[in-house]
């Protein structure tokens, strides 16, 4: 029997139900949503929506945006719908159940979206031990070509000049850049460090379809002060819903 926890995000502005075991959204989902720089009234596609945390964080900040989420796990998709209703955004958050690598098979039109966001599965089956929990395995275990296929899907779904935002583990940055190279430009990389003296553990990557501009490596986003408190910037984003500026 699945048990759930009720968790607050954005300082209590969002009330989210998640599985007590398995994949659980946290800081990464909030950072992903905060880094989406989308135009007013944007149509946003999220590949791998999970329980809806990133989408709901984005909709809280961009009150005239809509999000279409694609999620392969039916139970998680149903939970995302429940969370949308609980937070009064049902009309702006739509879910499609299926493979994020092939959103066109779910009735979504190519070239329709202004922005795509994603928190792709991270660990390759050949190099990491699969989590025992099935939901966590789906969320965290990547097939060899998953990232490439997700970014192909993102490019198909975006209008020309549309934006892409994704968050990934820092050591995967070469793979991310290689997958972006043939379809996206104006790439911006934001390292995310746990503390100022620590190496980055995540990267947030922004790019635009069909654009050409040099890659920019942005000043790092530091989560914690030396004493463990959130930095002022992290506090503003994680507790108060501020955006992460990818154009600094």
Q: Look at residue 134 and tell me if it is in a domain.
A: yes
Q: What is the largest CA-CA distance in the chain?
A: 51
> How much is the pTM?
0.91
Q: How many structural domains are present in the chain?
A: 1
Q: Look at residue 210 and tell me if it is in a domain.
A: yes
- CATH assignment at residue 73: 3.40.50.150
Q: Look at residue 128 and tell me if it is in a domain.
A: yes
The domain of 144 spans: 4-240
pLDDT at 143: 64
Q: Look at residue 28 and tell me if it is in a domain.
A: yes
Using DSSP's 3-state secondary structure scheme, residue 37 falls into: coil
Q: What is the pLDDT along the chain (248 residues), one digit of tens a residue?
A: 689 999 999 999 999 999 988 888 899 999 999 999 999 999 999 999 999 999 999 999 999 999 999 999 999 999 999 999 999 999 999 999 999 999 999 999 999 999 999 999 875 444 444 444 444 444 434 467 999 999 999 999 999 999 999 999 999 999 999 999 989 999 999 999 999 999 999 999 999 999 989 999 999 999 999 999 999 999 999 999 999 999 87
pLDDT at 1: 62
Q: Look at residue 220 and tell me if it is in a domain.
A: yes
Q: Which two tokens stand for residue 73?
A: 């796990």
pLDDT at 182: 85
pLDDT at 122: 73
CA distance 150 to 102: 8
CA distance 17 to 86: 9
Whether 83 and 16 have beta carbons less than 8 Å apart is answered as yes
């Amino acid at each position: 029997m699945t048990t759930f926890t009720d968790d607050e995000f954005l300082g209590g502005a969002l009330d989210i139900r998640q599985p007590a075991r398995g994949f659980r959204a946290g800081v990464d989902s909030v950072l992903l949503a905060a880094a989406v720089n989308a135009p007013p009234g944007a149509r946003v596609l999220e590949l791998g929506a999970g329980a809806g945390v990133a989408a709901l964080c984005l909709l809280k900040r961009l009150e005239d945006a809509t999000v279409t989420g694609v999620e392969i796990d039916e139970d998680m998709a149903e939970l995302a719908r429940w969370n949308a209703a609980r937070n009064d955004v049902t009309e702006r958050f739509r879910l499609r159940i299926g493979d994020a690598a092939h959103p066109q098979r779910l009735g979504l039109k190519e070239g329709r979206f202004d922005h795509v966001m994603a928190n792709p599965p991270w660990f390759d089956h050949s190099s990491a031990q699969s989590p025992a929990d099935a939901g966590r395995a789906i969320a965290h275990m990547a097939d060899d070509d998953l990232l490439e296929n997700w970014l192909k899907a993102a490019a198909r779904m975006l209008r020309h000049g549309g934006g892409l935002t994704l968050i990934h583990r820092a050591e995967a940055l070469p793979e991310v850049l290689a997958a972006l190279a043939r379809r996206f430009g104006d790439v911006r990389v934001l390292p995310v460090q746990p503390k100022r003296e620590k190496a980055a553990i995540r990267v947030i990557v922004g790019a635009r379809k069909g654009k050409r501009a040099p890659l920019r490596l942005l000043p790092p986003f530091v989560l914690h002060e030396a004493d463990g408190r959130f930095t002022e910037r992290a506090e503003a984003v994680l507790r108060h819903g501020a955006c992460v500026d990818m154009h600094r």
